[in-house]
Amino acid sequence: MGNDAGIAIAEHLDGSVEKFSTNLNEYLKTKVKVKDTNFGNIYGLFDADYVIIAYDMAKNTEYVMKDKEF
């Protein structure tokens, strides 16, 4: 699949890909204030729960651009 690094990071941070996705979605909703985006997995591959809204991606970008290291 070629997503070895993403899987390794997810497992290292949260123990599983599923838990990482759950935590990512919660973080985005509480910290970034996205409303309609839901990451169903870490790869971007088809998942019935995977929804990305352009407005939320703009909010994600705005949030990230405030980080000087980024």
Could you count the other beta carbons within 10 Å of the beta carbon of residue 31? 9
Give this prediction's pTM: 0.81
Tens-digit pLDDT string for the chain (70 aa): 568 888 999 999 999 999 999 999 999 999 999 999 998 888 777 778 888 899 999 999 999 999 999 8
With a CB cutoff of 8 Å and minimum separation 6, the contacts of 25 are: 38, 39
| 40, 50 Cβ separation under 8 angstroms | yes
Per-residue tokens: 31: 């910290």
